[in-house]
Structure 1
Amino acid sequence: MLDFFTRRTSGLKDDLLSGLTVALAMVPEAVAFALIAGLAPLTGLYAALTVGLITAAIGGRPGMISGATGALAVVIVSLVRDHGPEYVFPAVVLMGLIQIAVGLLRLGKLIRLVPHPVMLGFVNGLAIVIFMAQLDSFKIPAETAELDSHGHAASAWMTGTPLYIMIALTALTMAIIAFLPRLTRVVPATLAAIVVTSLLATFALPAFGLETRTVYDLAGSIQGGFPTFDFPVSPMTWQTLLTLETIEIILPYSLILAAVGLIESLMTMSLIDEITQTHGRGNRECIGQGVANITTGMFGGMGGCAMIGQSLINVNSGGRTRVSGIAAALFLLLFIMFLSPVIEVIPMAALVGVMFMVVIGTFEWASLRMYKKIPTSDLLVMITVTAVTVFLHNLALAVFVGVIIAALVFAWQQATYLAADTKYNEHGSKIYQLHGPLFFGSVTRFRELFDPNNDPDDVVIDFYYTRVVDQSGLEAINSLATRYANLGKRLHLTHLSEECRQLLDRAKKFVEVNISEDPHYHVSTDRLD
């Protein structure tokens, strides 16, 4: 990853200015995601406000920004299309309850099971998705495009002067972000870039009879008031909301929304942890996301989760503490209630330039050079996760697929590592010293290591350098003990872990277990979250 996000000290000024920068970048995305979901623009803005404020205040990752996201919008649009917008807000509330349950059950630690190649594929795919999403800004708006033979608006790229202006302002934005930090860090480069391009679009271009698309052209007026409590949403009532039929409708969507939201949030948290060299708290983040989504659902928001693009903008602008996230939410509220005319004149080119720099900073460029230096299986996982993210736009599915492939590869490799050293003690007993894990993938190899027919009457299996991992391993031991018992021979097991001895009770008439030397296993990181 390019070094746009190097660690630096953070002060109140940095947090406030980075919060302002993030709020400016959140406006068009929140509006766009609401439109994608088939909802009103203010629905996305209210989600960005409430989710961003609550997660910044009580979440597990200071400096991470949350709000309305495209990953959730893709799920919500199906619910709106099939059942209507009134079902969105109960589904978001139920999504929040599920996320709180995940946090209370301390399942946030499962993010540790995500291998590094999955993380690389995730960030690379997300960078490509962010890049592709910005290309729509270079197209002619549907209402001004020519109609095709079927009477539909044809998607067409800009040409001529509008295209040149768009490219120039985008390039200027990127240049300011890239080079201003070399001169001064008093003002965040991203904020300076947005201000400069906005001034040019507002005053310089009209002087020459030129214009460019702005936030207003995307969403119209974003003027609104303070979010009000409105739950359940009309025409739904508490009587209809709490029926089994309604629960059956929203539950599948809520489960998907909760999974997508938590995976994207925890993956973003891990990325920010790596960049800032700090440690977020996964279970607390799950609870924070849940509380935020319950609140936003009750106040007319579409739900949200961590936003990797805005989180990287925040980190790059110097935001490190909770103040930056809280400031971003409060600035967003200020925009909605009082300063919408100021925000509406921001050129889309400025925001596209900001997101292009996020793409450059997000994409793991080193992964393009490491394909000959990493195992083929890791390369396959990375490419698969990237492809699923790009083509299906489903981050949760991409991560699940990557983890499953990585787990299967790991299981296959570990299955080949089981081996045994053999020797005889002074009593003539044969000792098998096992090396490698015993689990479902290695049970066949385990059976091949022993020779019951030719072994002496007393056999010892030493598990000092191995571990029985699952029920398949236990069944393999039980089956082996039965084979020796049928031949009138005695099998002893030593250094077997506590849980394995308990599960082997039904084989105790065949197996004698040495419990005096059994080790005790602990996971030191269980207390971190």
Structure 2
Amino acid sequence: MQFSLAYFTQYKVNVKDEVLAGLTTALALVPEVVAFALLAHISPLVGIGSAFIICLVTSVVGGRPGMISGAAGSVAVVIVSLVVQQGVEYLFLAVALMGIIQVAIGLLRLGKFIRLVPQPVVYGFVNGLAAIIFMAQLEQFKTHDAAGAEHWLTGSALLIMSGLVALTMAIVYFLPRLTKAVPSSLVAIAVVSALVIGGGLQTKAVGDIASIAGGLPTFHLPQVPLSWHTLAVVLPYAFIMALVGLTESLLTLTVVDEMTDTRGRGNQDCVAQGLANIASGLTGGMGGCAMIGQTMVNLESRGRGRLSGVVAAGALALFVVAGSGLIERLPLAALVGVMFMVVIGTFEWASLRILRRMPASDVFVMLLVTLVTAISQNLALAVLLGVVVSALSFAWENAKRIRARHHLDAAGVKHYELYGPLFFGSVQAFGEKFDVANDPAEVILDFRESRVADMSALDALHKLTERYHRAGKTLRLRHLSPDCRHLLGRAGALVEVNVLEDPLYTVSGANVAY
């Protein structure tokens, strides 16, 4: 792989657009990363340093150009208890192990399993993340009094904050209708910042959250005892962080694919996320993954290639080393306004338009994933629940499709022609379709339009065979596929398989690259 300007702009994007999109994205990253670091009880500089490392590595070698990764809130939620109970050094080791796990998942090409996530789950995931981003911005409408108690803004402070947010959103919305020469988000931040700084308006700024002045991350081995006890402490966190990070990253990749009508590489991105987290852990950083909010900022600013991510990472480094004084003066209202527009763009409004046309089970799954994502902020749990409920719903619907048609041939043999899959969900209905007591001495069960899917189906066939055997009758199976015959091999002489007529089943799409 050769890293040249052509590599970073391989999607034939405009270099100017990439640079401006990267700068805009970096500005949107700062308050989010600082907030997530504080949530995880670590220094804001650790969060920004982690965002720099993760954004840079994934932009260079990631599987989805245009996607922005950084120190994400979904991972920050997981590590809170580890930091509080064990300290940040254990966190650094957990992050490095998280990266190793993600690299292994990518090398084993397990990223392809993201294809098993149903569309209602994707809708719920995206809508839940939009809710999380929205709720995170509401924190900027709060302040602390002299005693440290938290209160909502009131009076002129609230009016100024709300007015500046509204102005930012208006610029982001209307400017593209006049010109697309520069990203509207960047213009909005510049205009509102000039208005606040030049006009001396008193409103919350980035520096009110925390100072971002400092240096770049350096190599740092976690200072923890090398023992099995240490591994037992950090490994569970590493696994959870790895799964949460890859879940958000791969689903964000899917969303970006749909928005840009291009295709990313899931397994390559798994490896890239892993390498980024290894680098973050070994430079004293927190874990991260793809950030859908900042990715939307980048895409809406016309960032499509790798260069925009590299510029965003470089800008973060520049902010810390030389530009902290200016960045800390930026009004939070401008960044909140940009993120509110991201919420509007991220939310799948189409899911509401088709709500009445969706099956009730899909509506339930979408709402379940949205609520679990928004309330718990545990993306892996939300997606897992959505997939499980979708699978159970699918199994239930298919279980109702099992049916059998029967007739007697000229020789007095009764034929049962089975339709629909025979699996754990349909075995009970399957067993009720046979009249063992009144059937003739020989019965043939035809699987031309069915197949044996699992161990429950195999067990049901054995039990049915035994019922006929106890009645002094013979049950023969016909038109079984090769994989079904393999499952039924131990049924012995009671099973007749017509090899010449058995269809050969193959799985289409086996060569899909991931």
Same fold (TM over 0.5): yes
Asked if 1:476 is matched to 2:460, the reply is: yes
The 3-state SS of whatever aligns with 1:320 is coil
Shift of 1:174: 0.5
> Is 1:307 paired with 2:307?
no
Do structure 1's residue 432 and structure 2's residue 416 form an aligned pair? yes
Q: Please state if 1:19 is matched with 2:22.
A: yes
2:429 alignment partner, one of 407, 427, 445: 445
What is the one-letter code of the residue matched to 1:212? T
| Distance in 2 between residues matched to 1:268 and 1:394, nearest whole Å | 15
Give the superposition deviation at 1:426.
Answer: 4.8
Q: Would you identify which runs of 4 or more consecutive aligned residues in structure 1 move more than 6 Å?
A: none
Paired position in structure 1 for 2:182? 187
Q: Where does 1:333-412 land on structure 2 (aligned, <5 Å)?
A: 333-412=317-396
Could you tell me how far apart the structure 1 residues matched to 2:42 and 2:149 are? 23
- Aligned to 2:505, which of 504, 520, 524? 520
* Secondary structure, counterpart of 1:278 in structure 2: coil
Match of 1:87 in 2: 90
Paired position in structure 1 for 2:197: 202
Tell me the secondary structure at the aligned position of residue 377 of structure 1: helix
Alpha-carbon separation, structure 1, partners of 2:266 and 2:327: 34
Match of 2:6 in 1: none
Q: Which residue of 1 aligns with 2:479?
A: 495
> What is aligned with 1:10?
13
Encode CA deviations 1:167-196: one digit per residue, 9 max, x unaligned.
111111101110111111110111111111
Confirm or deny: 8 A CA contact 2:222 2:284 kept in the other structure.
no
Give the paired residue count. Answer: 503
Distance 2:14 2:443 in 1: 68
User: Which whole-Å CA distance do the structure 2 matches of 1:525 and 1:168 have between them?
Assistant: 54
**Paired residues of 1:18 and 1:317 also in contact (CA < 8 A):** yes
- 1:307 shift after superposition: 0.1
Aligned AA for 2:69?
S
8 A Cα contact 2:252 2:292, kept in partner: yes
CA distance in 2, matches of 1:192, 1:261: 32
2:131 is matched with which residue? 128
Matches within 5 A, 1:168-183: 168-183=163-178
Equivalent residue for 1:459? 443
| Cα displacement (A) at 1:526 | 4.8
* 1:70 is the counterpart of 2:73: yes
What is the aligned partner in structure 2 of residue 228 from structure 1?
Answer: 218
Distance of 1:59 and 1:161 partners within structure 2 = 46
TM-score, normalised to structure 1, is 0.92
Q: Report the equivalent of 1:36.
A: 39
How far has the Cα of 1:425 moved from its partner? Answer: 4.1
Kindly indicate whether the alpha-carbon contact (under 8 Å) linking 1:494 and 1:518 is maintained by their aligned counterparts in 2: no
What secondary structure sits across from 2:217 in the alignment? coil
**In structure 2, C-alpha distance between the alignment counterparts of 1:165 and 1:38, rounded to whole Å:** 30
Q: CA deviation at 1:450?
A: 1.8
Contact 1:108 1:286 in 2 (8 A): yes
- CA-to-partner distance for each residue in 1:254-282, whole Å, 9 max, x for gaps? 11111110111111111111111222222
Cα-to-partner distance string for 1:341-382 (whole Å, 9 max, x where unaligned): 222221100110011001111112233344332222112111
Q: Establish whether residue 104 from structure 1 lines up as the match of residue 88 from structure 2.
A: no
Contact 1:495–1:519 at 8 Å: present in 2 too?
no
How far apart, in 2, do the equivalents of 1:188 and 1:343 lie? 18
Offset, 1:429: 2.9
Q: Provide the C-alpha distance between the structure 1 equivalents of 2:481 and 2:305, rounded to a whole number of angstroms.
A: 44
Secondary structure of 2:355's partner?
coil
Q: Does 1:157 align with 2:157?
A: no
Q: Determine helix, strand or coil for the equivalent of 2:456.
A: helix
C-alpha distance after superposition, 1:379-432 (max 9, x if no partner) = 211111111122222111111111111111111111100012223445443322
Residue 182 of structure 1 aligns with an amino acid whose one-letter code is R
> Is the Cα–Cα contact under 8 Å of residues 418 and 445 in structure 1 kept in the other structure?
yes
Aligned residue type for 1:76: I
1:166 aligns with 2:161: yes
Q: TM-score, normalised by structure 2?
A: 0.94
Which amino acid letter does the alignment assign opposite residue 178 of structure 1?
Answer: Y
Cross-structure match for 1:211: 202
Asked whether the 8 Å contact 1:90–1:297 carries over to 2, the reply is yes
1:3 matched to which residue of 2?
none
- Matched to 2:45, the amino acid is L
Moved more, 316-325 or 85-94: 316-325
- CA distance in 1 between counterparts of 2:198 and 2:134 reads 29
Secondary structure in structure 2 of the residue aligned to 1:372: helix
Q: Distance in 1 between matches of 2:350 and 2:270?
A: 31
- The residue matched to 2:213 in structure 1 has which SS? coil
8 Å CA contact retained: 1:38, 1:80: yes
Equivalent residue letter for 1:174: M
The offset of 1:467, in angstroms, is 2.4
Gaps in structure 2 of 5+ consecutive residues: 1-10
Post-superposition shift, 1:154? 2.6
State the partner residue of 2:4.
none
- Give yes or no for contact 2:395–2:425 (8 Å, CA) kept in 1: yes
Instruction: List gaps (5 residues or longer) in structure 1.
Output: 1-7, 148-152
Q: Deviations over 1:452-487 (max 9, x none)?
A: 232233322222222222110111112222222333
Cα RMSD after superposing both structures: 1.7
Deviation at 1:248, TM superposition (A): 0.4
- Contact residue 214 and residue 344 of structure 1 kept, 8 A: yes
1:137-192 CA-to-partner distances (Å, cap 9, x unmatched) read 1111x3xx154xxxxx3321112222111111111110111011111111011111
8 Å contact kept, 2:69–2:291: yes
CA distance in 2: counterparts of 1:435 and 1:62, whole angstroms: 46
Counterpart Cα distance in 1 of 2:482 and 2:44: 58
Cα offsets for 1:226-263 (capped at 9, x unmatched): 32100123xx3xxx23x100000001111111111011
Shift of 1:492: 2.7
Q: Specify whether residues 225 and 422 from structure 1 end up closer, same or farther in structure 2 by C-alpha distance, changes over 3 A only.
A: same
